[in-house]
Structure formats: C-alpha cells, structure tokens
Chains A and B, each alone.
Chain A
C-alpha cells in the first residue's frame, strides 16, 4: 500500500510522516507536490504539519486552493482515506471537509510538548488498532490549535462519536489543565460523517519510532494499513490493493450518491 504525502510550500512535517510510514510501518510513501494534479495511486493521502504559505490570512487558508487540493478534495469526497495533521487539520477545516475551525491558542503561546490524549473512538479506520479509552502521549507543536465550532456542531460530533481524540490528564480526565490550547470540549481530533477524513492537531508521526522515544502514534498508521487491507473505499486512481479482483468488481462505492458532512 502507498501513502501520498502532500508538500505545500512551508510544510515541514512531510519527512517525519515519510519516515513513520517507511520505517515505522514498513510501507511505501511518496511525496505529492502542491502544483501536481496527480495523487500517484496513493491509498491514503496525508496533509502534513507545517506552516503552508506562511500561515498567511489564516492557517491552511491558502493551501486549500493549491492545485493538488482539487484532487485531494475529490479523493476525500469519494471516500478516500485522508489524514490531516496539525496544519493539515487546518487545511481540512478550511476546505470544509471537516466542520469547525482552528484559531489562535487561548494562551496566545506556541505550544510544543508531548500531551496526553484519550482514544475516544477506536472504531474508525484511523484508530482500529488502539483500544477504546487508551491513553497515549503524542507531541503537539502549534500556535493555532484551538478547535472551535458552533455548540450544535459540537453536540453532533459528540453524539455521533466523531470526537476521536481528546486532550486528557494522566488519569484520562479532560481537564482544563490538560487542554493545551483551549479547544472546545478538549477536542484534539475529529472525523467526518462517513469516517474517511480525520484531522488532529497532535503529531502521531513524531511518536512512531522507538528512536523517537515512543511509538504511541504508530497505531494511526497501522490502523490505516488494516483499513486499506480490508478494502476501504478506493476512489478511482488509487492503487488496487486486491489485484486479483477484476477492476470494476471492487467498486462497491458509488460516489454520485455519497454525501459528505459539510457543516459549519
């Protein structure tokens, strides 16, 4: 299987994700240049962390209109597995692929440290390799990571199990002290309605190799590998993980009738 890692001008966690995939997971990864219109058959598309376009206007606001985003948005809307980390999460919100927005940290400080997270939903393509409720340590590094959304959007996310990661203390409680940026309801990561687009502020790739001191984040990547092996919806252009199956037989998925959560 193959991960496609988008490189915007100002991306700076692209190589970290590449190593997490190739060395941590032992799978193939390729960089996708922002001016390209080709996802190169990737099974999973990753929008990595960084400061795309210098964070001008708002984090992720300009990257959202990069040439390759046309293909990324089509891929994601067709059910393709799409992971946005940090700046990538901001891009997904700006592209309205995920609800809400990420604004300046409440403290106004750039926070760079490992934080405690609880896996709130282990039934997703991104977390199936974790036990539900598991506590993990994952680094954050951001100045604009405060997740905000309308109260009714937050209620809906909670009710539908779409809050996937939450900032918690060592006992697993979502306290104010454990919330590094003031995010509503300690939300660290959310998923779209159809379960194929996940955005999170913490960096799982930074805890994906023993040499980095922790492999708590590797589960995101192993979960994705399992999802692809199980035959996650595979938009046109992605590599066929089951080459013995006739090309059209695996197409159980009809993009024309699929709706994706576009909410504010």
Chain B
C-alpha cells in the first residue's frame, strides 16, 4: 500500500561557497537599522508530494532526486523533511 508523503527539500549554499545573495540581504538589513544580524544564507525550498511504500522509501527516493537534479552537490547542501499526508 502506497501512502502519500509531503516532502520539503531545503537547499542552501554549501559551507565555504560564497553566497552573494545572502551577503546582500545582510547588508540591506543593516542599512534598515537591524542590528545583530550575523551570517545570512539564502536558499530555496521545494515542496512536493510523493507516493511511496514507506517513509524510508520516500526519503531515499527524494534524496536520490536531490543528488541527480534538485540540488547540485558541488555547490549546495540539501535537507529532506517528510510529513505523512496519508
């Protein structure tokens, strides 16, 4: 029996990779008068529904999707979060 899982993939620039977008947001916040903003990293969120036999199956399928297409492991880290919509 396949269940439907809602999956969120969070993609962020890999540690050590420059993130000009994050840096620009940090500067803009500073210009707006917000103090105490440290490092800002900007990423991307992908939400999808995946039919799968189990949560583990869904996770390993989505991780494979990330390595193949959704993220570029050379420059990005990704994190897969799964909820059961069943």
Tell me, yes or no, whether A61 is within 8 Å of chain B by CB.
yes
- Say whether B69 contacts A61, CB under 8 Å: yes
Which listed segment binds B: A96-104, A115-123, A164-172, A227-235?
A96-104
Tell me, yes or no, whether B24 is within 8 Å of chain A by CB.
yes
- Say whether A108 contacts B18, CB under 8 Å: no
CB distance from B24 to the nearest CB of A (A): 6
- Say whether A104 contacts B74, CB under 8 Å: no
| Selected contact of A101 from candidates B20, B24, B69, B74, CB within 8 Å | B74
Closest Cβ neighbor of B73 among chain A residues: A264
Could you say which interface size class chain B belongs to? Answer: 10 to 19
Q: Mark B10-27, 1 if CB is under 8 A from A, else 0.
A: 000100011011001000
Tell me, yes or no, whether A22 is within 8 Å of chain B by CB.
no
Closest Cβ neighbor of A99 among chain B residues: B74
Q: Mark A144-175, 1 if CB is under 8 A from B, else 0.
A: 00101100000000000000000000000000
How far apart sit A105 and B24, CA to CA, in the bound complex (Å)?
12
Tell me, yes or no, whether A65 is within 8 Å of chain B by CB.
yes
Residues of B within 8 A of A65 (CB): 69
Tell me, yes or no, whether B60 is within 8 Å of chain A by CB.
no
Residues of A within 8 A of B17 (CB): 103, 148
Tell me, yes or no, whether B70 is within 8 Å of chain A by CB.
yes
How far apart sit A16 and B40, CA to CA, in the bound complex (Å)?
40
| Selected contact of A58 from candidates B18, B20, B24, B72, CB within 8 Å | B72
Tell me, yes or no, whether B75 is within 8 Å of chain A by CB.
yes
> With A101-B74, A101-B75 given, is the CB distance from A108 to B69 under 8 Å?
no
How far apart sit A58 and B18, CA to CA, in the bound complex (Å)?
16
CB distance from B10 to the nearest CB of A (A): 15
What is the number of contacts between chain A and chain B, taking CB atoms within 8 Å?
Answer: 37
How far apart sit A59 and B17, CA to CA, in the bound complex (Å)?
17
> With A57-B69, A61-B69, A108-B24 given, is the CB distance from A146 to B18 under 8 Å?
yes
| Selected contact of B20 from candidates A57, A100, A105, CB within 8 Å | A105
How far apart sit A106 and B17, CA to CA, in the bound complex (Å)?
11
Interface core residue of A57, A94, A149 (most chain B CB under 10 Å)? A57
Residues of A within 8 A of B18 (CB): 103, 106, 146, 148, 182
- Say whether A106 contacts B72, CB under 8 Å: no
Q: Which chain A residues in 76-107 approach chain B with CB under 8 Å? A: 93-94, 99-101, 103-107
Residues of A within 8 A of B72 (CB): 58, 61, 94, 101
CB distance from B50 to the nearest CB of A (A): 18
Residues of B within 8 A of A58 (CB): 72
User: Could you write out 7 A-B pairs with CB less than 8 Å apart?
Assistant: A58-B72, A61-B72, A101-B75, A103-B13, A103-B17, A107-B20, A148-B74
Interface residues of B (CB under 8 A from A): 13, 17-18, 20-21, 24, 69-70, 72-75
Interface residues of A (CB under 8 A from B): 57-58, 61, 65, 93-94, 99-101, 103-108, 146, 148-149, 182, 264
Known: A58-B72, A100-B74, A104-B20. 8 other contacts (CB 8 A): A57-B70, A101-B72, A105-B20, A107-B20, A108-B20, A146-B18, A146-B20, A148-B17
